[in-house]
Structure 1
Amino acid sequence: MKTIKFFGLLFVSFLTLLSCKEQPTRYTQSSPEIDTLKAAIAAYEAGDWEGYQTHYADTAKIYHNTTDKFLSATDNANAFKESTAQYSSYGFIKDEGDSEMVVTDDGETWVNYWGVWQGTLSANNQSYKMPVHLTAQFADGKIIKEYAYYDRTPIVLAQMEMQAAQEEAGMEEDAAMETPSN
């Protein structure tokens, strides 16, 4: 009977040791992948489009405010280069962002970033803020897929108002030139 109790206790101890085995990290706020996404953001803020692209796999698919039309890292860098040219300053507000890395049940590694972007349009010297959410999937240390969500409506409306004002000023100028002087 003592032998059965001994083996029973040994079996329970063995199961306890197995359950204490270190599990892989499923959630963290500190990882090389988080550092990579932050480096891509820093390159974006610096206008370092070559450096920006180095954080993405050659086959990366980048979806911004869409789920069906993606850009490559090169095409996205070119789009950013064009869109940021209209700002006298732009970037993410320091200390107003947060990042986390998660490993899904399927073993996929994703980094989520929440931040507040701020930019000043050169044309009207107005500053705009918008919340941004990025989520990026990683493989072999590179971003292979990225989704970004943000609302540019206030900026687009301001640009439309400025364009309408320019067109109106142009029409008034044309009308003044057509008026005969007596």
Structure 2
Amino acid sequence: MKKLFLILAVAAILPACTNPSPENYFDTAVLNTNMINDFGSDALTKMLIAQNVKYNGTLPNGPNAATKMIDGKVQYIESTIKKVKDLKETSETKTMLRTSEALFEYVLPVYKNEYTALAKMSDEGGTKEDVLSLGKEIDEKYGARFDSLFEVLTSEGKRYAAAHDIKVNWGN
């Protein structure tokens, strides 16, 4: 009975000691950017405005929906940064992981500050024009660097996915 327990215990521990799969590296470093691919875009600003459109006199997503949406993105980004940092860097994954980490760390303070302020403006009844104007300022200030990091990460992700036969629809 003790031998059986020992065998089962070792069998349960061994998978935890193995390296993550190529799919896990890809999903964590590249696929998780789907949550932030609207960063620095008019689409995100319009989504924040849409959170406060009343239907039949009520807010379908409740009060402070835009702020809650941004808070959710902040939590997701913080979690993803930790997951990316926890992955073991190899010569093959080095650029992909470092670029992913840089991208998420670049957007995090913008979501915490500028996008949170934009969401609050929307939640507190700011005019559509004011919200769009502030959104455009954010886009102009941060969009180019985001696009540059995103492009490098996408290129690395495509290379890595091809090398590991990971099937990805890149939207081309």
The higher-RCO structure (CA 8 Å, 6+ apart) is 2
Give TM-score, length-normalised by structure 2: 0.30
Higher helix share: 2
Choose 1 or 2 for highest CA Rg: 1
Higher strand share: 1
